[in-house]
Amino acid sequence: MPEKKNFCRIAQNLPPNVGAEILRYGWRKPDILSLGQGEGNAPTPDFIMDGAVEALRAGKTHYGPVLGQPVLREALSSYYEQVFNFDIPANRLFVTGSGTTAMHLALTSILEKGDEVVAVTPIWKNLLGAVELAEARIVQVPLDFGEEESGSQKGWSLDLERLLAAVTDKTKALLIVTPSNPTGWMMSEEEMRHVLDFARARGIWIISDEVYSRTAYGLSHAPSFLGVAQADDLLITVNSFSKSWAMTGWRLGWLVGPAAAEEIIRDIALYDNMGPPTFTQFGAVKALEDGEDFIAQQMVGWEANRDYMMERLGAHPKITMVAPSATFYAFFKVEGEPDCLTFAKRLIDEQSLSLAPGCAFGAGAKGWMRLCFAVSRPRLEEALDRLERAL
């Protein structure tokens, strides 16, 4: 029988993904209520599914262009023009088989063994894993969580000087998730300009994960590095259809990069999975063309859930948290529970409630917990009841 030692050194030495381990630990219980995974419980809307079904019936089941169907790349270009007022031509848009794949392709295209990536954390472990697979070194720069002198919470913030001071002559890229999973923090346009000017002067890439760009409360979209960058900047943004269009299971994402990246990304994707499934992309076209009302409806529900959650958790004497500016996550810590992994297991064992432990998102998030509130109100109420019983 093959043993672990028979596999490659990189695979053997990958750090454990404790978030995935907790999910697996919870699923062993038949009555588990899981708010640990990053998805809502709304099904994909009919108009999106109809686009895919029509494509299937029309025989769109063969190999397609590696970087996506031309009609989808053009639809993405129109989407950026109509929603963001950005001029992004189709030759800078690369369709991928999931946002995770998009990040993997972006990092694979620029990293070599021994490079450093300065990453703003807390951050989803899969993104750090993609860096580790490239045999590059991760330098974590945690967000700060603090309070004003009056005692009112100001929430999460990024110390720009500390971020830029982490750059060395080995730094190949800055990895930034904005809006942030799991904190809900958003980088401002002014901060983006400052970071981009710094990176441009030093020839450093910026990889910006903007998967949650349409989940900013009170805004049509969050600020994007694309809004402050030039077309030929060393910038790649990562995005996905999963969250705002309720398409997590479709595994469909995209990249925006400089035009010079098209051939490089295409060649890597050719050896990865030869591009995303053909028929799903016609559903994505419908999502872009007709999905604005659905996105708005989801945001209304998520904002109502956020406010309800803050009424309950935000007022709890043992809980420290702040209302997220974007995303559908509550990121909080509990007084007297410094070990988030132990606490996560206790919630599963005693309350059949599965949440994501903060330590899964980087060294600076130990003791924190992530709860996804993109669910029905009864489901959220039951989850909060179980959490309060545990406290």
151-192: pLDDT as tens digits: 445 799 999 999 999 999 999 999 999 999 999 999 999 999
Q: Express the helix, strand and coil content of the chain in percent, nearest 5 each.
A: 45, 15, 40
Check residue 49 and give its pLDDT.
98
Query: DSSP string of 108-175?
Result: HTT--TT-EEEEEES--HHHHHHHHHTTPEEEEEEPEEEE-TTS-EEEEE--HHHHHHT--TTEEEEE
Check residue 297 and give its pLDDT.
97
Q: What value does the mean pLDDT take over residues 306-330?
A: 95
Check residue 147 and give its pLDDT.
63
pLDDT exceeds cutoff 90 at 6? no
Q: What value does the mean pLDDT take over residues 312-326?
A: 94
Other CB atoms within a 10 A radius of the CB of residue 161 amount to: 9
Cβ burial, residue 296 (10 Å; 0-12/13-18/19+): exposed
**19-23, 68-72, 288-292, 300-304: the lowest-pLDDT one:** 19-23
% of residues, the chain, pLDDT over 90: 88
**2-11, 39-48, 65-74: the lowest-pLDDT one:** 2-11
Cβ burial, residue 24 (10 Å; 0-12/13-18/19+): exposed
Check residue 219 and give its pLDDT.
97
Domains defined along the chain, listed by start: 4-44+293-390 (3.90.1150.10), 46-290 (3.40.640.10)
pLDDT exceeds cutoff 90 at 17? no
Among 70, 78, 91, 66, smallest CA distance to 261 is for 91
Among 238, 205, 236, smallest CA distance to 115 is for 205
Q: Which two tokens stand for residue 312?
A: 């309950």
Neighbour order of strands in the sheet with 329-334? 319-320, 329-334, 368-372, 356-357
Q: Which two tokens stand for residue 296?
A: 């708005």
Identify the DSSP state of 80: I
347-383: pLDDT as tens digits: 999 999 999 999 999 988 999 999 999 999 999 999 9
- Per DSSP bridges, beta strands 116-121 and 319-320 are unpaired
pTM, rounded to two decimals:
0.95
**In the predicted model, what is the mean pLDDT of the chain?**
95
Q: Which residue has the higher pLDDT, 149 or 88?
A: 88
Q: Is there a contact between 390 and 346 (Cβ–Cβ < 8 Å)?
A: yes
Identify the DSSP state of 9: H
3-class DSSP assignment, residue 353: strand
pLDDT exceeds cutoff 60 at 94? yes
